[in-house]
Chain A
Amino acid sequence: MKNYDYSKPEYYENRELSWLKFNQRVLYEAENKETPLFEKLKFLSITASNLDEFIMVRVASLRDMENAGYDKKDIAGLTVTKQRELVNKAVHEFVERQYRVLNEGIIPKLEENGLKIIRFGKDENVLSASDRGYLDRYFENEVYPVLTPMAVDSSRPFPLIRNMSLNIGALVKKKEGSDGIEFATVQVPSVLQRVVELPPGEDGVRRVVFLEDIIASNIDRLFLNYDITAYSYFRITRSADFSFDEDEADDLLKEIEKQVRLRAWGEAMRLEVDAGIDKALLTKIKEELGLIEREIFKIDGPLDLRVLMKLYSLKGFDNLKETKYSRPQEYPYIPEGCDIFEKIAENDRLLVHPFQTFSPVIEFVSQAALDPDVLAIKQTLYRVSGNSPIIAALAQAAENGKQVTVLVELKARFDEENNILWAKRLEQAGCHVIYGLVGLKTHCKITLVVRKEEDGIRRYVHLGTGNYNDSTAKLYTDVGLLTADEGIGEDATAVFNMLSGYSEPRNWNKLSLAPLWLKDRFLFLINREKEHALNGEKAHIIAKMNSVCDADVIKAVYEAAAAGVKIELIVRGICAIKTGVPGTGNNIKVRSIVGNFLEHARIFYFENAGSPEYYCASADWMPRNLERRVEILFPVVDARLRQKLRFILDTQLRDNVKAFDLLETGEYVRLMDHPDHGRNHLASDAIDTEERVDSQLVFCEKAKKAVEEAYGSSNDRVFIPRESQSN
Chain B
Amino acid sequence: MAYSTFAAIDIGSFEISMKIYEVSQKKGMRQVDYIAHSIDLGTDSYTKGKIEQERLDELFGILREFRKIMKTYRVEEYKAYGTSAIRETVNRNILLSQIEQITGIKVEVLSNSEQRFLDYKSVAFQGAKFEKFIEKGTAIYDVGGGSVQISLFNKDNLISTQNMRLGVLRMQERMNKMGASMRQYDALIRELAQSQLSVYKKLYLKDKEIDNLIIVDDYISNIVAKERIDGPSDNVFGKETVERYLKMAREYGKEHIASKLSISESDIPPLYISLILLDEVMSTTGATTVWAPGVTLCDGIAYEYAESNNFLSSGHKFENDIISCAMQVSKRYMGSRKRSETLENIACRIFDATKEVHGLTPRDRLLLRLCAMLHDCGKYISMQNLAECSYGIIMSTEIIGISHKERMIIANAVKYNQLPFEYYEELSSHESIERNDHMRIAKLTAMLRLANGLDRSHKMKFKNVEVEIKNGNLNITVSTDEDIALEKGLFGNRADFFEEVFNLKPVIRQKRSF
A residues near B (Cβ < 8 Å) are 375-376, 403, 450, 452, 454-457, 493-494, 497, 501-509, 516-517, 520-521, 524
Identify the stretch in B28-36, B188-196, B480-488 within 8 Å (CB) of chain A at 4 or more residues: B28-36
Question: How distant is B394 from chain A, measured CB to nearest CB, in Å?
Answer: 38
B1-34 contacts to A, CB under 8 A, are 1, 3, 5, 15, 17, 22, 24, 27, 30, 32-34
Judge whether B22 and A506 touch: CB under 8 Å.
Answer: no
Judge whether B222 and A506 touch: CB under 8 Å.
Answer: yes
Question: How distant is B119 from chain A, measured CB to nearest CB, in Å?
Answer: 15
The contact sample of 27 A-B pairs, CB cut-off 8 A, is: A375-B72, A403-B69, A450-B72, A450-B73, A452-B73, A454-B1, A455-B3, A456-B1, A456-B3, A456-B30, A456-B32, A493-B32, A494-B34, A497-B33, A497-B34, A503-B17, A504-B262, A505-B34, A506-B225, A506-B294, A507-B225, A508-B228, A516-B262, A517-B226, A517-B262, A521-B229, A524-B229
Bound complex: CA A106 to CA B462 (Å): 115
Task: Name which residue of chain B comes closest to A494, CB basis.
Answer: B34
Task: Name which residue of chain A comes closest to B1, CB basis.
Answer: A455
Bound complex: CA A541 to CA B232 (Å): 23
Starting from the known contacts A502-B37, A504-B262, A507-B225, 6 additional A-B residue pairs (CB-CB under 8 Å) come to A375-B72, A403-B69, A450-B73, A456-B27, A501-B37, A505-B34
Q: Which residues of B contact A506 (CB under 8 A)?
A: 221-222, 225-226, 294
Q: Encode contact with A along B215-238: 1 for CB under 8 Å, 0 otherwise.
A: 000000110011011101000000
Judge whether A375 and B68 touch: CB under 8 Å.
Answer: no
Q: Does B317 contact A (CB under 8 A)?
A: no
Judge whether B232 and A509 touch: CB under 8 Å.
Answer: yes
Q: Which residues of A contact B230 (CB under 8 A)?
A: 524
Question: How distant is B452 from chain A, measured CB to nearest CB, in Å?
Answer: 51
Judge whether A503 and B232 touch: CB under 8 Å.
Answer: no
Question: How distant is B345 from chain A, measured CB to nearest CB, in Å?
Answer: 45
- Most A CB atoms within 10 A — which of B22, B33, B38, B68? B33
Interface size on B (CB < 8 Å)?
31
From A403, A455, A524, contact of B72 by CB (8 A): A403
Q: Does B74 contact A (CB under 8 A)?
A: yes
From B69, B228, B262, contact of A507 by CB (8 A): B228
From B17, B22, B262, contact of A456 by CB (8 A): B22
8 A-B pairs with least C-beta separation: A503-B36, A403-B72, A506-B225, A455-B1, A456-B22, A524-B229, A457-B32, A502-B35
Bound complex: CA A493 to CA B73 (Å): 13
Bound complex: CA A493 to CA B30 (Å): 14
Question: How distant is A353 from chain B, measured CB to nearest CB, in Å?
Answer: 31
Bound complex: CA A454 to CA B1 (Å): 6
Bound complex: CA A82 to CA B230 (Å): 42
Known: A456-B3, A507-B232, A517-B262. A375 touches B37 (CB 8 A): no
Bound complex: CA A402 to CA B229 (Å): 36
Bound complex: CA A12 to CA B164 (Å): 58
- Most B CB atoms within 10 A — which of A375, A456, A508, A521? A456
Bound complex: CA A712 to CA B32 (Å): 42
Q: Which residues of A contact B24 (CB under 8 A)?
A: 456
Judge whether A376 and B72 touch: CB under 8 Å.
Answer: yes
Task: Name which residue of chain A comes closest to B68, CB basis.
Answer: A403
Bound complex: CA A493 to CA B69 (Å): 12
Bound complex: CA A521 to CA B30 (Å): 28
Known: A403-B68, A455-B1, A506-B221. A493 touches B229 (CB 8 A): no
Q: Which residues of B contact A376 (CB under 8 A)?
A: 72
Bound complex: CA A504 to CA B24 (Å): 27
- Most B CB atoms within 10 A — which of A454, A502, A520? A502
Bound complex: CA A81 to CA B509 (Å): 109
Question: How distant is B233 from chain A, measured CB to nearest CB, in Å?
Answer: 8
* B interface majority secondary structure: mixed
Bound complex: CA A494 to CA B27 (Å): 22
- Most A CB atoms within 10 A — which of B5, B17, B262? B262
Task: Name which residue of chain A comes closest to B224, CB basis.
Answer: A506
Bound complex: CA A455 to CA B5 (Å): 11
Judge whether A517 and B229 touch: CB under 8 Å.
Answer: yes
Q: Which residues of A contact B294 (CB under 8 A)?
A: 506-507
Judge whether A452 and B74 touch: CB under 8 Å.
Answer: yes
- Most A CB atoms within 10 A — which of B35, B38, B69? B35
Question: How distant is A246 from chain B, measured CB to nearest CB, in Å?
Answer: 18
Q: Which residues of B contact A516 (CB under 8 A)?
A: 262
Question: How distant is B248 from chain A, measured CB to nearest CB, in Å?
Answer: 15
Q: Which residues of A contact B32 (CB under 8 A)?
A: 456-457, 493
Bound complex: CA A455 to CA B26 (Å): 10
Bound complex: CA A528 to CA B66 (Å): 42
From B22, B35, B232, contact of A457 by CB (8 A): B22
Q: Which residues of A contact B38 (CB under 8 A)?
A: 503
Q: Which residues of A contact B17 (CB under 8 A)?
A: 503
Question: How distant is A508 from chain B, measured CB to nearest CB, in Å?
Answer: 6
Q: Which residues of A contact B33 (CB under 8 A)?
A: 493, 497
Question: How distant is A701 from chain B, measured CB to nearest CB, in Å?
Answer: 38
Question: How distant is B169 from chain A, measured CB to nearest CB, in Å?
Answer: 17
Task: Name which residue of chain A comes closest to B261, CB basis.
Answer: A517
Judge whether A375 and B73 touch: CB under 8 Å.
Answer: yes
Bound complex: CA A493 to CA B18 (Å): 14
Bound complex: CA A501 to CA B65 (Å): 12
Bound complex: CA A455 to CA B4 (Å): 10
Bound complex: CA A502 to CA B16 (Å): 10
Q: Which residues of B contact A456 (CB under 8 A)?
A: 1, 3, 22, 24, 27, 30, 32
Bound complex: CA A592 to CA B202 (Å): 72
Question: How distant is B306 from chain A, measured CB to nearest CB, in Å?
Answer: 14
Bound complex: CA A520 to CA B229 (Å): 8
Q: Which residues of A contact B68 (CB under 8 A)?
A: 403
Question: How distant is A124 from chain B, measured CB to nearest CB, in Å?
Answer: 65
Bound complex: CA A678 to CA B144 (Å): 67
Bound complex: CA A574 to CA B5 (Å): 50
Q: Which residues of A contact B221 (CB under 8 A)?
A: 506
Question: How distant is A371 from chain B, measured CB to nearest CB, in Å?
Answer: 14
Task: Name which residue of chain B comes closest to A456, CB basis.
Answer: B22
Q: Which residues of B contact A450 (CB under 8 A)?
A: 72-73
Q: Which residues of A contact B262 (CB under 8 A)?
A: 504, 516-517
Task: Name which residue of chain A comes closest to B22, CB basis.
Answer: A456
From B3, B15, B69, B229, contact of A503 by CB (8 A): B15
Bound complex: CA A456 to CA B69 (Å): 16
Question: How distant is A452 from chain B, measured CB to nearest CB, in Å?
Answer: 7
Bound complex: CA A452 to CA B1 (Å): 12
Question: How distant is A515 from chain B, measured CB to nearest CB, in Å?
Answer: 9
Task: Name which residue of chain B comes closest to A487, CB basis.
Answer: B232
Q: Which residues of A contact B27 (CB under 8 A)?
A: 455-456
Bound complex: CA A455 to CA B37 (Å): 29
Q: Which residues of A contact B15 (CB under 8 A)?
A: 503
Bound complex: CA A503 to CA B229 (Å): 20
Task: Name which residue of chain B comes closest to A527, CB basis.
Answer: B229
Question: How distant is B392 from chain A, measured CB to nearest CB, in Å?
Answer: 42
Q: Which residues of A contact B30 (CB under 8 A)?
A: 456
Task: Name which residue of chain B comes closest to A432, CB basis.
Answer: B68
Task: Name which residue of chain A comes closest to B30, CB basis.
Answer: A456
Bound complex: CA A495 to CA B283 (Å): 39
Judge whether B229 and A502 touch: CB under 8 Å.
Answer: no
Bound complex: CA A503 to CA B18 (Å): 11
Bound complex: CA A17 to CA B250 (Å): 43
From A452, A503, A517, A521, contact of B37 by CB (8 A): A503
Bound complex: CA A450 to CA B38 (Å): 25
Bound complex: CA A338 to CA B232 (Å): 36
Question: How distant is A53 from chain B, measured CB to nearest CB, in Å?
Answer: 31
Q: Encode contact with A along B56-92: 1 for CB under 8 Å, 0 otherwise.
A: 0000000000001100111000000000000000000
Question: How distant is A126 from chain B, measured CB to nearest CB, in Å?
Answer: 67
